[in-house]
Structure 1
Amino acid sequence: MKDTDYTFGTRDDPPDGQDNRLYYRLTARARILVELEACCPEPRGVPVASGRELACIVRDLSASGIRLLSREKLAAGALLSASVYLDSQAPPFTLTVEVVWCRPHGSDYLVGLRIIESEQTEYVEWTEAVAKVMEAS
């Protein structure tokens, strides 16, 4: 992860009074894989059926949330597993996210995700990595 890959804010930030963000956001060159359908558990010896993932581009991020551009509409309130790649050389952060909002953006959708704190994910490592980037920016 290079410091030059991140900047504060975006040109299409919401107008005054419509921003519910708790933390500063960094515009980022990052990507995210959102698990739309989980893998089906199978009996031993049988190959596991693969789930369905959606690759998206991250527009901005913070320790508590991510805004992304998606080809598909995501349901508000959905809890999903996600893998976030901040650097092409580093392994992804495995996170649980909640879809807070989803709205049309041209032929795609802008989606706001809240990162859910969970012991089964890399929530702590995520917040530390984002803090490190913010300190360097």
Structure 2
Amino acid sequence: MSPDTTVAGAFALRTAAGTTYDATVELLSSSATETTPGDSANLTYGIFIVDNMAACTEDAIPAAGNEVIANGTAFGSVSGATVINLAKGASTTETGAPVTLCFQVHAGAGLDEGQVNNATWQFEAASVE
């Protein structure tokens, strides 16, 4: 990444075959670690649901109601995150339909080039009876 750029990556979630309940997924935490102290403060992120992996690009904009957490959120914050709903499969031999998440990370103007920053998100899933 370089200053004033955005990168994107997709990740799909779904319930496994044999699942008998729907599920919810909650964003518990986000963090960024860096090799240059304070550099990760120049990174922000957003997560939203897209139709498929190919729809997750640097320029993608979340459709109404598909935002998990707003673009521009500082790492370390999950304030305002919405719950993701996963449906069980139509039968116990089928997986649930995938829900594709688009993660966008934006580098601010103060980001030092040539450094390493690692981003981590933690989610928790729970069955819904």
Q: TM-score, normalised by structure 1?
A: 0.23
Q: Identify, as 1 or 2, the structure richer in strand.
A: 2
Q: Which has the higher contact order (CA 8 A, sep 6+)?
A: 2
Q: TM-score, normalised by structure 2?
A: 0.24
